[in-house]
Structure 1
Amino acid sequence: MVKLITKGISVSVETKYQPEYSSPVQFHYVFTYKVTIENKSEHTVQLLRRQWYIHDAGTTKKEVEGEGVVGQQPILEPGDVHSYVSGCNLKSAYGKMLGHFAMERLVDGKQIEVTIPEFVMVAPFRLN
């Protein structure tokens, strides 16, 4: 697990290889990742957008951005925690992701950028 705190917002990420959905002979590797966001600040915030940079070691680099996370734009009061699970398909057994969330402090409308720490996705057989 990786974890980073930006402006009082903690973001941690855990990854898991999904062998039952992967097919190495077809260069198809599926990973899931669980993101946990904890508001350690003294302000209520809302997650508005996310931007991801996906690096597939075997082939490409992609940028993905859009509103919210998994169809939600959660509001986090001080002390609140929001978790969600999503996934990523790669063409190689190794990759990494990083990015940021665009959030808004509800008290004054100030926009803040919260860093999503870089994390790796590695098929376990690549670790030997």
Structure 2
Amino acid sequence: VVGRQPRVAPGERFEYTSWAMLRTPFGTMRGSYDMERPDGSRFDARIAEFALTLPNALH
């Protein structure tokens, strides 16, 4: 999350809104978050690929 470093305790959740400009009505996005545990160890939380579409663009 650009510019934010939220602390999320077990059982909590964090949500945010983002956007991306597309040159086509369809696209996909995927990635990962670099996470840090309370003990300082780090891991990547992978985000599965998901569709970016205009509302009502898919059946």
TM-score by length of 1: 0.42
Whichever residue aligns with residue 28 of structure 2, its letter is: K
CA shift, 1:127, in A, is 2.3
Higher strand share: 1
Describe the superposition over 1:51-105 as per-residue Cα deviations: whole angstroms up to 9, x where unpaired: xxxxxxxxxxxxxxxxxx1421001111111110010110000000000000010
Identify unmatched segments of 5+ residues in structure 2: none
Aligned residue in 1 for 2:43: 112
Paired residues, number: 59
What is the aligned-residue identity percentage?
A: 39
TM-score by length of 2: 0.86
Identify unmatched segments of 5+ residues in structure 1: 1-68
Higher helix share: 1
C-alpha root-mean-square deviation of aligned residues, in Å?
A: 1.5
Change (3 A) 1:125 1:77: closer
CA shift, 1:125, in A, is 5.3
